[in-house]
Amino acid sequence: MDTNLFTTNNLWILIATVLVFIMHLGFATLEAGLVQRKNAINILFKNVMIVSIGLVSYYIIGFSLMYPGESWNGLIGFAQFGLALPEGDSIGYADGSYTYWTDFIFQGMFAATCCTIVSGAVAERMKLESFLVISLLFVSISYPITGMWKWGGGWLDEMGFYDFAGSTLVHSVGGWGALAAIILLGPRLGKYSKNGINPIPGHNIPLAAVGVFLLWFGWFGFNGGSVLSADPDAVSLVFVTTSLAAAAGAIGSFFTAHALFKSHDLTMVLNGILGGLVGITAGADLMSPMESILIGLIAGIIIPFSVVFFDKMKLDDPVGATSVHLVCGIWGTLAVGIFGSMAGLSQLMTQLIGIVSIGVFTFIFVFAVVYIVKATMGIRVSVEEETQGLDMAEHDMPAYHDLAPRSEDLAVK
């Protein structure tokens, strides 16, 4: 094995890991911008803790659940607690592509990303401690089990299910978790009334736009690193398909939102970009440039319709996580059987089986966890706390000093 090639491969995946880490900054700024200013600290706090809890719990149990080596009928397995360097030298670990440690840290960043999807959907009304407990169980048990079914050599992998970088295994899984949580949590105060839907706009759209550009930037590592080597042709193709799908997603959402709402809604276009990115993620290495444009365009068209649908169902999602990650994740996974080198009815049915099985498991798992937490700890803040804002209620600090309580407000009446 050429040690120079090994070093190059390993270095690229570590760079990709850094790019995926930057996605957490993107999620944090996007979500902070799309919530009310009185809840900005709370959503940032959750994003900080998700990365921290995600990496440590993935080290302790998640990585060994996702890559157990051996499993029971391709459904579940477990290697050991923590990490243990395999026998032999580093070059022999993954056919000379990367080291054991690189494998862990790259996959660990993906795991934490899954929980971040949930944080935006339940923003502005979920108790902090309850959210952290739910996130811990989600990232350390649910996510790695379904991930093993494909990426760990499980039963879906043997069936031929394909998900290059996680349209289903990361994004739809996060979306299913978000959906289960918001069903049990309920909408924000005043969101829905007998007079219809009352918009609750985000307080800082420029910050949200910065978040989307950071996510697009990080996606080069999310998809490009999933090549799992520095192969110049493969990585270059993935960069092209990823970017074209994102751009087409913006265009699709732009025209659709204008047709539906007769306005140029920036938040719809931002989510259209993310929808295009989620959509191409399952087959970024299989698609031609034109196919990637079509996938992204359709994802962008889906976004406004999906947002309207969830609102009509009174499922309150402040950042559109269910539309972006769940719905477009499903679309992107199905697209593998429609476009690209694996297209065909048989592959489409296999993709559908993977979507349904992972979706059912994830939804039931998260619904059960949230239900138990709701019955024991409670998951919803009080009416007074939600009205005041979680920044002061749970953190005793404002994101902006002009929101700090005035001395006369604190005086005993």
In CATH, what number is assigned to the domain containing residue 79?
1.10.3430.10
Answer yes or no: is pLDDT of 412 > 60: no
Query: For residue 88, what pLDDT is reported?
Result: 64
Q: What is the mean pLDDT of residues 65-76?
A: 90
Answer yes or no: is pLDDT of 413 > 90: no
Residue 411 lies in a domain: no
Residue 410 lies in a domain: no
Least confident interval from 48-57, 80-89, 175-184, 296-305: 80-89
Query: For residue 411, what pLDDT is reported?
Result: 41
Residue 412 lies in a domain: no
Answer yes or no: is pLDDT of 205 > 80: yes
Answer yes or no: is pLDDT of 177 > 50: yes
Query: For residue 257, what pLDDT is reported?
Result: 97
Answer yes or no: is pLDDT of 137 > 50: yes
Domain span at residue 332? 3-401
The pTM for the full model equals 0.93
Residue 312 lies in a domain: yes
Query: For residue 405, what pLDDT is reported?
Result: 53
Local confidence band at 408 (pLDDT 50, 70, 90 cut-offs):
very low
pLDDT digits (tens, 9 = 90+) for 275-325: 999 999 999 999 999 999 999 999 999 999 999 999 999 999 999 999 999
3-state per-residue secondary structure call for the chain:
CCHHHHHHHHHHHHHHHHHHHHHHHHHHHHHHHHCCHHHHHHHHHHHHHHHHHHHHHHHHHHHHHHCCCCCECCCECCCCCCCCCCCCCHHHCCCCCCCHHHHHHHHHHHHHHHHHHHHHHCCCCECHHHHHHHHHHHHHHHHHHHHHHHCCCCHHHHHCCCCCCCHHHHHHHHHHHHHHHHHHHCCCCCCEECCEECCCCCCCHHHHHHHHHHHHHHHHHHHHHHHCCCCHHHHHHHHHHHHHHHHHHHHHHHHHHHHHHCCCCHHHHHHHHHHHHHHHHCCCCCCCHHHHHHHHHHHHHHHHHHHHHHHHCCCCCCCCHHHHHHHHHHHHHHHCCCCCCCCCHHHHHHHHHHHHHHHHHHHHHHHHHHHHHHHHCCCECCHHHHHHCHHHHHHCCCCCHHHCCCHHHHCCC
Mean confidence (pLDDT) of the chain = 93
Local confidence band at 389 (pLDDT 50, 70, 90 cut-offs):
very high
Give the number of domains in the chain.
1
Q: What is the mean pLDDT of residues 96-115?
A: 91
Query: For residue 409, what pLDDT is reported?
Result: 41
Residue 86 lies in a domain: yes
Answer yes or no: is pLDDT of 406 > 70: no
Residue 406 lies in a domain: no
Answer yes or no: is pLDDT of 41 > 90: yes
Local confidence band at 87 (pLDDT 50, 70, 90 cut-offs):
low
